[in-house]
Structure 1
């Protein structure tokens, strides 16, 4: 009986070891983070040694993992080269686009629909990222990231300046005439943004008002906007994310500028396929 572990386990190890992230490996291989973690654990059981040191939000390789990775990586490279040599480059490779769910729903979806209608022959694979370390140069041809643009090894195109403003359901908006009317209502917070409710309230001259409001915090804007649309409170969001939202209104005209913004990002040291370039230029042209 062969002692070689299953290919899926080896693939999960190689991707996770290269990216040092189970989430990134899952995005790259089109499976969940939990699936990658399970495959790696099964592989560790098979070889009888730990391959990763698991920290709270990161991974490092054990000495055994470091020693094994070059052999596994080289094996996959040889398989890829052999496949290309025998079958040529006729295998269709989709353009992988990675971004957060809220950008997918509110900004990307209508643009992808228009692109697909104009270029139905181009295959696209969209994968999700929630946390900043879900992003990275591996596994995606194009990303839409949020931040100050302080990344290395990538080409970047800003989507434009960002303005954040409160949004809520139309029924709730009728009760909000001035920012002072927020008192007693629920403010919906999305974690991970440089400018949040404290920044907007200060811009409105109502910095003291937060203590008079109830609070509910989520780790993503998809949930805060969903709660807001159902009358669960008032969310703070980016003006550009309201393009396709008919269930949310902005009760106040005041917005707060942010030094963070959304960026189109792609690796600067990678061959760019014609299909990837076409998607990239389409998204830039839609700004």
Structure 2
């Protein structure tokens, strides 16, 4: 008898761990929330440890669940890639492109429009991801990741150096002459970035101002930029993401460099389909445009 737990239990765990929701996992796998909960409990009984901490309205992973999840991710990725290598794919299968919403709206959107007009026969499926773990077991042909490029098993192409700067609505910008004028305003924070407001304020020589500001924290840049555009505060964002925006302005010239950047990424050990290769070359050639 195999010592491995049933695949359905592992699928339930992986989906629930990725979404941190039994309900979302059930919707993803086409079963009920109760079915996901039961499969996870059976899995926990099999491995002899709790994998989730169950709160009233949410889930968090236990240390054991966090330690095990990368192995499960890798296993599903290898199954997906092995299936593709052996059986190939049909021309009707779309090219899956995964990226964060912020880079989709600014850098990616105009390039995809141009690519589609030139190659309407290539079907593209765009998938959103916010956190690094969202680049999970569902194999994407191409990804746009953010980080230091410390990933294995992939081919990478950087989009260029990144600098972060404050942005806000035009009306609010008219009240800001120097970084000291930020005192009393709301700083909009997007979590998950190596450089944040503390780093920018220090670089601008006004680190003391942060204690005089209100703060509002979001889990993604899309929301901080939306709040900033509506006068809800000042957001810190990448200069690259401002190219296509007309609803935000930069009140100061000061910017701070980041050792993190956006990268075009694709698996290095997977057989690349012609359509995916075509889109990859197009995106690589348009990095500096």
Decide: shared fold, TM above 0.5: yes
- In the alignment, what sits opposite 2:204? 204
* 1:119 positional shift: 0.5
Pick closer, same or farther for the CA change 1:170–1:38 going to 2, 3 Å.
Answer: same
Corresponding position: 1:172 with 2:172 = yes
Distance (whole Å) between structure 2 residues aligned to residue 239 and residue 34 of structure 1: 39
* 1:47 positional shift: 11
Pick closer, same or farther for the CA change 1:205–1:122 going to 2, 3 Å.
Answer: same
- In the alignment, what sits opposite 1:36? 28
* 1:12 positional shift: 7.0
Pick closer, same or farther for the CA change 1:117–1:16 going to 2, 3 Å.
Answer: farther
Please state whether the residue corresponding to 2:43 is helix, strand or coil. Answer: coil
Superposition pairs for residues 149-168 of structure 1, below 5 Å? 149-168=149-168
* 1:271 positional shift: 0.3
Distance (whole Å) between structure 2 residues aligned to residue 218 and residue 111 of structure 1: 27
- In the alignment, what sits opposite 2:43? 50
- In the alignment, what sits opposite 2:57? none
Distance (whole Å) between structure 2 residues aligned to residue 286 and residue 250 of structure 1: 25
* Superimposed CA distance per residue, residues 208-238 of structure 1 (whole angstroms, 9 cap, x where no aligned partner): 1100111100000000000000000000000
- In the alignment, what sits opposite 1:3? none
Distance (whole Å) between structure 1 residues aligned to residue 193 and residue 68 of structure 2: 31
- In the alignment, what sits opposite 1:134? 134
Distance (whole Å) between structure 2 residues aligned to residue 136 and residue 282 of structure 1: 24
Please state whether the residue corresponding to 1:96 is helix, strand or coil. Answer: strand
- In the alignment, what sits opposite 1:259? 259
- In the alignment, what sits opposite 1:239? 239
Superposition pairs for residues 92-103 of structure 1, below 5 Å? 92-103=92-103
Superposition pairs for residues 209-224 of structure 1, below 5 Å? 209-224=209-224
Pick closer, same or farther for the CA change 1:247–1:281 going to 2, 3 Å.
Answer: same
* 1:137 positional shift: 6.2
Distance (whole Å) between structure 1 residues aligned to residue 66 and residue 262 of structure 2: 27
- In the alignment, what sits opposite 1:122? 122
Pick closer, same or farther for the CA change 1:13–1:266 going to 2, 3 Å.
Answer: farther
Distance (whole Å) between structure 1 residues aligned to residue 193 and residue 206 of structure 2: 20
* 1:136 positional shift: 3.7
Pick closer, same or farther for the CA change 1:132–1:277 going to 2, 3 Å.
Answer: same
- In the alignment, what sits opposite 2:248? 248
* Superimposed CA distance per residue, residues 137-167 of structure 1 (whole angstroms, 9 cap, x where no aligned partner): 6420111111111111111111100000000
* 1:285 positional shift: 1.0
Superposition pairs for residues 176-191 of structure 1, below 5 Å? 176-191=176-191
Query: Contact (CA 8 Å) 2:155, 2:267: kept in 1 or not?
Result: yes
* 1:42 positional shift: 2.3
Please state whether the residue corresponding to 1:111 is helix, strand or coil. Answer: helix
What's the RMSD between the two structures over aligned residues? 3.5
* Superimposed CA distance per residue, residues 106-135 of structure 1 (whole angstroms, 9 cap, x where no aligned partner): 111111111101110000000111111111
Pick closer, same or farther for the CA change 1:12–1:112 going to 2, 3 Å.
Answer: farther
- The unaligned stretches of length 5 or more in structure 1 are 1-9, 26-31
Pick closer, same or farther for the CA change 1:46–1:22 going to 2, 3 Å.
Answer: closer
Distance (whole Å) between structure 2 residues aligned to residue 91 and residue 12 of structure 1: 29
- TM-score w.r.t. the length of structure 2 is 0.78
- The unaligned stretches of length 5 or more in structure 2 are 1-5, 53-59
Query: Contact (CA 8 Å) 1:24, 1:135: kept in 2 or not?
Result: no
Please state whether the residue corresponding to 2:198 is helix, strand or coil. Answer: helix
Shifted more, 246-255 versus 52-61: the winner is: 52-61
Distance (whole Å) between structure 1 residues aligned to residue 258 and residue 40 of structure 2: 50
